[in-house]
Amino acid sequence: MGVANQTCESSKQLSDRFYVTAFSIIFLFGLLFNSLALVFFFRFTKIRSQTTVYMKNLACTDLLLVGSLPVRILFYVSRRQFPWRLCELTGLVFLVNMYGSIFFLTCISLDRCVAICFPMKSRLNSLRGRAKWISAGVWLLVVGASIPPYLVIPKSDNETGACPLCFDKKPSYVTNPATVAATLLVGYGIPLATILVCSLSLLRAVRRSSATRMDYVDWRKIRNMVAANVVIFVVCFLPYHTVLLLYVTVRTPERELTLRASYRATIAVACLNAIFDPLAYYFATETFQKSVGVKALKNALTSNTDSAEGNNRSLSPQRAKLGHSARTIMT
């Protein structure tokens, strides 16, 4: 028994060091990257689009998560009993961030797809103009859907108001079969399918467009940017939802400890989106500035010099349209 206890204690200390390291890295880089992203979005007002509205909200959700990470770090460092409400509030912030990120990433993909694939659909374009209202609706949805777990769970196993397990306790509400079914369908399945369809449609439209053939848009860079967004979405959020599914399909007393450990690990993985999201902003903006802005200007000047005046008049509306499409893709 003594050897078994020592083994368990050693494993626990190792996992605690892992979580302290992981959450500390996410806190430092997430705070830095998202703060810089918000400064960029609000200071450089020349780059404006409906997509940047969603990016601003996405950065805010990431900063909200980053602000809650010191609580997790302190818990795994000290292993003290934390107030029950503090533990639950930190868990609530995690859910708001994860599903806020999922829906805002979905909105970004939809906005780009509609702008490029359906530029002449007035109803769809008028809907794009309501990005602020859509963002407000996303906030209401994710906050409203995340609150119920903390209204129905008993206060604590003791009467002191302290939670000795805090982030190590069993996730009872989120692993309820009915909750898992709704979460997998609405919270992850539909957004994932939407992002995949929008990404494929966008790539096809850009690949076949005149803007790509005229070198207004670097198709390979756009392809890499879209692929990066999909990879971030899958890598960060798929493990968490896979564990939720396993809780329903293979829940047994023998698997309980393994599932609980996997659940905690996937939370750390999901929190990585606070670092990856700003990197996606950076590459998108860099591509816009270097690939669209400079090349479009260079091509336009060259064409104006070499072409006849009549051809310039006939091609200028097309170039303006292509330039607008290019800017829409990248902003």
Q: Report all structural domains of the chain as residue ranges with CATH numbers, in order of start.
A: 2-330 (1.20.1070.10)
**Structure confidence at residue 79 (pLDDT):** 84
Number of Cβ within 10 Å of residue 323's Cβ equals 19
Is-contact 140 268, C-beta < 8 A? Answer: no
Residue 315 has a pLDDT of: 41
DSSP classification of residue 118: -
pLDDT for the residue 232:
87
The 3-state DSSP composition of the chain as helix, strand, coil percent (nearest 5) reads: 85, 0, 15
pLDDT truncated to tens, each residue of the chain (331 aa)? 454 444 455 567 788 899 999 999 999 999 999 998 888 888 765 555 677 888 899 999 999 999 999 999 999 998 888 888 888 889 999 999 999 999 999 998 888 888 777 766 666 667 777 889 999 999 999 998 888 766 655 554 444 456 667 888 877 778 888 889 989 999 999 999 999 999 898 888 877 765 555 455 566 777 777 888 888 889 999 999 999 999 888 877 778 888 888 999 999 999 999 999 887 776 655 544 444 443 443 444 444 444 444 444 444 444 444 455 545 555 5
Residue with tokens 């390291």: 21
